Amino acid sequence: MNRPTGVDDGSDMRELLCAVGARRDIEAYEQLFRHFAPRVKAYMARTGGNGQQAEELMQETMIAVWNKAERYDPAKGAASTWIFTIARNLRIDAFRRERRPEFDPEDPAFVPDDVAPADAELDMRETSEQLHHAIAALPAEQASLLKLSFFEDQSHSAIAQRLNLPLGTVKSRMRLAFDKLRAALARSGDVS
Amino acid sequence: MTIRHHISDDLLISYAAGSLAEGWSIAVATHLALCPACRRRLTVAEAVGGELLDTMEDEASVDQSWASVRSRLQQPETAAARQSSVGHSGGLPEPLRSYVGGDFDTLKWRPLGRGAYQIPIKTGDRETMVRLLRIPAGKPVPEHSHGGRELTLVLAGSFHDGTGLFARGDLEDADASLTHQPVATPEADCICLAVTDAPLQFRSWIMRAIQPLLGI
Ligand SMILES: [Zn+2]
């Protein structure tokens, strides 16, 4: 995994996205666009679209970023995380016949967070870098499994069949990888 | 409320990735509504997705796309401030409530025999069977053989399955290798969401005929 040096350490992207949300800053938006549009397009192409569909879904995603930027909360995660969830949901709408069931924080039966917002803020601010290094440090077979999970739109049993591995092995590698990533974030004073 | 049985890593990652079938996702999302701890784990899983997105190659020029999107941007409407919820109502949480079309007091139960009731839930996926079950207090869960995975999310009452107690919010994740006999605790009826692999469909009548012999 390579990352262009000097372009982005995650915090720049957060600030740009906040500027779009707060002031409709078109220059900030253009910088975000130039960074994320090719990545979102690659994601759409990889998870099932042809070139034309991938372009359309990328544009839809980036317009949603513009429209919803006000709702982005930098304390809850990186800009890339927020944009990923928008792209993911648009992809499911476009390619699958299923809905994506989601919890609703406004629902009276919803159980609110048990951690004070101030602590939570401390949590997710600095995660990008740690996560980047932790993913880079994963053993190859765990990292590739993680990528397959996020980019192939296949169940873990389908991935296991394709790799000719027992499902239990796929699940345990996934658990090992996720444990390491969570531990890396926990060391940086984050979620446990 | 103390939840003791949580979402497994592989389910959580599939849900975060958007590759988990709708049926399983109903159980996962409804557990998330009741469990702040798993919502924090979901945040990490989604951050992994964001990080992987960020490290994708970006060869293509976006000048043309930018021109197109630039011309389509409009001044968005300011989002109306939504009322924040009080929480802990104890009712059926979303997204499940919308799937069954009502809360505990308006459910239309269908008898399943031996005092148990069910409400089948329709989804767009073909791989799962989803239903709400009501088990009479003190009684075992009926017709309980399954060949694949089974997720059971408790919404009211509780059950024991030999390994432990499952109460509101607890998610039991059982695979084919686990033989268990859940029994509702005697205090109250137990209402839970059950998601299983859809029963296998055999096309040939021969396979259908020998299916009972094979025990599948
Ligand atoms: Zn949980």
Calculate how close chain B gets to A12, using CA atoms only, in Å: 13
Residues in A closer than 8 angstroms to B156, CB to CB, are none
The pLDDT, as a whole number, for residue B199 is 72
With b meaning 16 or more CB within 10 Å and e meaning fewer, what string describes A88-123? bebbbeebbebbbbbbbeebbbbbeeeeeeeebeeb
- pLDDT tens, residue by residue, B103-122: 999 999 999 888 899 999 99
What distance in angstroms lies between residue B31's CA and the mean position of ligand 1's atoms?
Answer: 6
CB pairs under 8 A between A and B: 249
Region B65-77: mean pLDDT is 87
Please list, in sequence order, all residues whose beta carbon lies within 8 angstroms of the beta carbon of residue B56, skipping any fewer than 6 positions away. A38, A39, A42, A43, A46
Region B136-143: mean pLDDT is 82
Q: Give yes or no for a contact between B170 and B5, defined as CB atoms under 8 angstroms apart.
A: yes
What distance in angstroms lies between residue A55's CA and the mean position of ligand 1's atoms?
Answer: 37
Cβ–Cβ gap B19/A127 under 8 Å: no
Cβ–Cβ gap A66/B76 under 8 Å: yes
Please list, in sequence order, all residues whose beta carbon lies within 8 angstroms of the beta carbon of residue A69, skipping any fewer than 6 positions away. A17, A18, A20, A21, A29
Give bridge partners of residue B152 from the DSSP assignment.
B172, B194
- pLDDT tens, residue by residue, A21-48: 999 999 999 999 999 999 999 999 988 7
The pLDDT, as a whole number, for residue A140 is 94
Calculate how close chain B gets to A102, using CA atoms only, in Å: 5
Please list, in sequence order, all residues whose beta carbon lies within 8 angstroms of the beta carbon of residue A79, skipping any fewer than 6 positions away. A10, A13, A14, A16, A17, A32, A36, A72, B50
Domain covering A123-192, topology:
Arc Repressor Mutant, subunit A (1.10.10)
Residues in B closer than 8 angstroms to A31, CB to CB, are none
Q: Domain boundaries in chain B?
A: 1-54+93-216
Cβ–Cβ gap A102/B54 under 8 Å: no
The percent of residues in chain A predicted with pLDDT above 90, rounded, is 67
- pLDDT tens, residue by residue, B202-212: 434 444 454 55
DSSP codes of every residue in A23-51: H--HHHHHHHHHHHHHHHHHHHHHTT--H
Region A115-138: mean pLDDT is 73
Distance between alpha carbon A20 and the CA centroid of its chain, in Å? 19
Region B146-164: mean pLDDT is 87
Domain A7-115, second-level architecture: Orthogonal Bundle (1.10)
Any chain A CB within 8 A of the CB of B35?
Answer: yes
List A residues 84-113 in contact with B (Cβ-Cβ < 8 A): 84-85, 87-89, 91-92, 96-113
Q: Domain boundaries in chain A?
A: 7-115, 123-192
ipTM of the modeled complex: 0.91
List B residues 87-146 in contact with A (Cβ-Cβ < 8 A): 87-97, 99, 123-125, 127
CATH number (3.20.20.70, 2.60.120.10, 2.60.40.1180, 3.10.28.10) of B1-54+93-216 reads 2.60.120.10
